[in-house]
Structures are given as structure tokens and as C-alpha cells.
Amino acid sequence: NAGVMQNPRHLVRRRGQEARLRCSPMKGHSHVYWYRQLPEEGLKFMVYLQKENIIDESGMPKERFSAEFPKEGPSILRIQQVVRGDSAAYFCASSAGVVETQYFGPGTRLLVL
């Protein structure tokens, strides 16, 4: 049973470009969460999605960031017009239910030059 998959594992972008991060939850999981870890910090909650619905995006920056979890395919975290401050590790987690344990993927390390 494969765990949470994230790709790419590493992503380099220049300022102003777009970054697309993908997350495939564990089989049977329909709840997806995105967290961001800035250097020397703990993980910070960004957004919680279920299939085709954003449930809570209270942790998302108001501009340039968006997330989706379509009926088919992986969840996507999209960052438009990236800036150097977006450089971080982005982790996706999934769970079978909202009160169930969250299982994390290996993360995508984004570097903005």
C-alpha cells in the first residue's frame, strides 16, 4: 500500500514563475492537507481539502497561492509569481477521516532563485 506521494521532490523556479506541487493521497484517503515548513521553523497548516472542495484555507497566503483536489487526479498546490520567500518545504498529508491520523508525504522542496 503506497504512502502519500508528492512530486516533484525538488523544484527550482526563478522569481515570477509558477510552481505546481502535486500530492496523491494514500489509497482510500479522501482528506488532504498542505503544510509549509520554512527554514528553521515547524510545519504550518495551509489548507484542508476534500474531493472537489476546499474545506479550510485559513493558512494560505491571500495572494498567489491556490489549491485544488479534483475528482480525478492528485491534489495541486499552485504558487503564481513565486518570490524568494516562497522557498520552503511543502508537505502534503492525507487521512481517512477528519479526526483520523494524518500521514505525510516526503515533501517538495521549492527553491526560488
Partner 1 sequence: DQQVKQNSPSLSVQEGRISILNCDYTNSMFDYFLWYKKYPAEGPTFLISISSIKDKNEDGRFTVFLNKSAKHLSLHIVPSQPGDSAVYFCAPSRSGAGSYQLTFGKGTKLSVIP
Note the residues at the interface with partner 1 (CB under 8 A).
4, 6, 9, 31, 33, 35, 40-45, 48, 56, 58-59, 91, 93, 95, 98-99, 101-107
Using alpha carbons, select from 73, 23, 72 the residue that is nearest to residue 48. 23
- Quote the CA–CA distance of 62 and 112 in Å, as a whole number: 19
Nearer to partner 1, 105 or 112 (CB): 105
17: number of CA atoms within 13 Å, CB side?
13
Least Cβ distance, residue 18 to partner 1 (angstroms): 24
Nearer to partner 1, 72 or 99 (CB): 99
- Quote the CA–CA distance of 89 and 39 in Å, as a whole number: 8
Nearer to partner 1, 53 or 101 (CB): 101
Provide the sign of the torsion angle of the four alpha carbons 47, 77, 69, 105, taken in this order: negative
Nearer to partner 1, 17 or 29 (CB): 29
- Quote the CA–CA distance of 34 and 46 in Å, as a whole number: 5
